[in-house]
Amino acid sequence: MSHDRYSSPLTSRYASQEMAYNFSDDKKFSTWRQLWLNLATAEKQLGLKDITDEAIEQMKANLKNIDYAVAAAEEKRRRHDVMAHVHTFGVAAPAAAGIIHAGATSCYVTDNSELIMMRDGLDILIPKLASVNAKLAKFATEYKDLPTLGFTHFQPAQLTTVGKRACLWLQELLMDLRNISRAREDLRFRGVKGTTGTQASFLALFDGDHSKVEQLDELVTEAAGFPSAFLVTGQTYTRKVDLDVLSALSSFGATAHKIATDIRLLAHLKEIEEPFEKDQIGSSAMAYKRNPMRSERVCSLARHLMTLVGNTHQTAATQWLERTLDDSANRRITIPEAFLTADILLSLLQNIFDGMVVYPKVIGRRIAQELPFMATENIIMAMIKAGGDRQACHEEIRVLSHQAAAKVKQEGLDNDLIDRIRASEYFQPIIGQLDSLLDPKTFTGRASQQVDRFIQQEVTPALAKYQEALSKGVKQEDINV
C-alpha cells in the first residue's frame, strides 16, 4: 500500500476481501480478456476462418497475465483504455493480436464486465443480508416477551417488547432482501450489439447472416453465465439498470441507518448496547465511555450509500440518444462504492447483532417510572367494578398523579404514584389487585404473538432458499469493525 497518495478507506480500511477484489483491476481486466476470448470462440464456432486454434489457446493462457506497465504506457499514448488493453492482450497472445475485439465496440467489454461485476457483487451481498436477517430473527425471538417502554416522538408511550421492536427492524431488512434479490434476478447481459446497438459490424462479419449474429449474441451471453441479454440497446445497456440496482442498495442504506440510530438511542438509555470488546477504548479523554462506534459507523457509511443513487438518476436521465460519455467517470466511482459500502454495512450489522447486549433491569426501572401513569385507566376500571363512581375516581387519581409528577419533574425523585394510591383510603377496595394491574406483561398487547407470527409466516419462508449461505455465515475476517 502506498502512503504518498489518497487511498479509499472503503477498500483500505473496511471492505471485505471478496468485494474489494470484485471491483479490482485484476477482476476487471481479466474479465475483459475472458469476454474477448468468449467472443473469439463463438465467432470461430460460427465459421470465422481467421480465428485459429493457436489464437484461442494463447488467449486462454493469458487471461490473468496482465502487463499493467505496457497497458499504462499504451493508454497514455492512445488516450483509450480499451484499445490499450487490446494491444496489451495482443502482446501476450500474438497469434490472436489481429482478431481480438473483432466486430466489437468498447462497450462490449466495459458494459458487459460491469454487469458481471454487479451480478457477482449482488451474489456476495445477498447471502450476507440473509444472514443478518436470520441473526436478528433469533434476537427477536429470544426477547419477544421482554416488556420495554415504547416511544413515539422519543417520548414515553405504551409498552411494547424488545423482540417486537426488533421485528420492526427485521421487516425492513426483509424488504431489502426482496428488493436486492429482485434486482439480481432482473439483471441481463448487454451481449454483442455493436457501436449503436444495431449489430451492423457483426452482420458484416457474417456476410449478412442474421441467424449467425443472433447465435453469436446467445453464445456469448451463455458463456458469461447470464440466462438472457437485452434484445435492444444503444451503444450501452440502459443506465436504468444501474438505477434499479443502486435504488435497492440505497434503500438498504436507509434501513441500516434507521436500525443503527435506534441502537444509538437505546445505548444512551443504557437499555441495549452493541458489542464492546475488553480492551476497546470509547474515548481518548473520558475513560469510562462506551460509545456505540459500530452503530455510528453504520450511520456514517449509510449516509454515503444513500447519496450515491442520485448519481444514477442523473446518469439515466442524461444519456443522449444512443449514448454519451459523461456517464463513464461517474460510474467508475458510483457503482463500486455502492457495493463496497453495502458490503461493509452488512458486516457491521452482522457484528452488532452477533453480540447485542440487553439490560432487563434498566429496562424494568424505566418501565417502573412510567407505568403508574399508564395504569391509571386500569385502576379506574377496577374501582368501578368494585362499586366506585367513575368521576370521583378520576378526580382522586388525577390529584395523586399531579402530585407524583411534581415530585418527578420538580424534585427529580422517583414516581411514587403507586405508593400514594396504596396510602389512599379511597383506593383500599382494590389494593390487593394493584400488583396484577401493574404487571408490565399485561400492557404489551399482542406483541409476543406478533413476533411469532411474523417469524413463522414471513421471515422463515423468505430465508428458506438461503439455508446453505446461512450455514456458512459471514467470515469473521471479513468483519472490519
Residues 412 and 318 in one domain: no
Q: Count CB neighbours of 368 within 10 A.
A: 15
**Structural domain for 45, as ranges:** 23-96
Q: What is the CATH number of the domain that holds 37?
A: 1.10.275.10
- Tell me the catalytic residues: 153, 283
Residues 67 and 215 in one domain: no
61 three-class SS: helix
Residues 59, 37: contact at Cβ < 8 Å? yes
Q: Is 344 contained in some domain?
A: yes
Cα–Cα distance measured from residue 233 to residue 399, given in angstroms and rounded to the nearest whole number = 75
58/110 same-domain check: no
> 185 with 225, same domain?
yes
Of the three residues 96, 122, 144, the one that is the final residue of a domain is 96
| 194-253 per-position pLDDT tens digit | 999 999 999 999 999 999 999 999 999 999 999 999 999 999 999 999 999 999 999 999
Which residue, 96, 117, 150, sits at the end of a domain? 96
Domain tally, the chain:
3
The HSE-up count of residue 435 (CA atoms within 13 Å, CB side) is: 1
**Alpha carbons 147 and 188: distance in angstroms, whole number:** 48
- Same structural domain for residues 262 and 291? yes
Which tens digit of pLDDT belongs to each residue from 19-28? 999 999 999 9
CB 308 within 8 A of CB 338: yes
**Same domain, yes or no, for 407 and 307?**
no
Query: Quick check: is 175 in a domain?
Result: yes
Q: Is residue 2 part of a domain?
A: no
Per-residue confidence in pLDDT tens, the chain, 481 aa: 678 888 888 988 888 999 999 999 999 999 999 999 999 999 999 999 899 999 999 999 999 999 999 999 999 998 899 999 999 999 999 999 999 999 999 999 999 999 999 999 999 999 999 999 999 999 999 999 999 999 999 998 899 999 999 999 999 999 999 999 999 999 999 999 999 999 999 999 999 999 999 999 999 999 999 999 999 999 999 999 999 999 999 999 999 999 999 999 999 999 999 986 544 444 444 444 578 999 999 999 999 999 999 999 999 999 999 999 888 889 999 999 999 999 999 999 999 999 999 999 999 999 988 888 888 888 888 989 989 898 999 999 899 989 988 988 899 888 888 899 999 989 998 998 888 888 999 899 999 999 999 999 999 999 998 887 777 655 544 444 4
Cα–Cα distance measured from residue 315 to residue 268, given in angstroms and rounded to the nearest whole number: 41
pTM check: above 0.85: yes
Q: Shortest CA distance to 328 belongs to which of 239, 247, 245, 234?
A: 239
Q: 12 in a domain, yes or no?
A: no
Domain termination residue (choose one: 60, 76, 96):
96
- Domain co-membership, 408 together with 348: no
Q: What is the pLDDT of residues 306-346, one digit of tens each?
A: 999 999 999 999 999 999 988 888 999 999 999 999 999 99
Q: Residue 284: its pLDDT value, please?
A: 44
How many other CB atoms sit within 10 Å of the CB of residue 360? 13
Determine, yes or no, domain membership for 16.
Answer: no
Do 92 and 112 sit in the same domain of this protein? no
The CATH number for 134's domain is 1.20.200.10
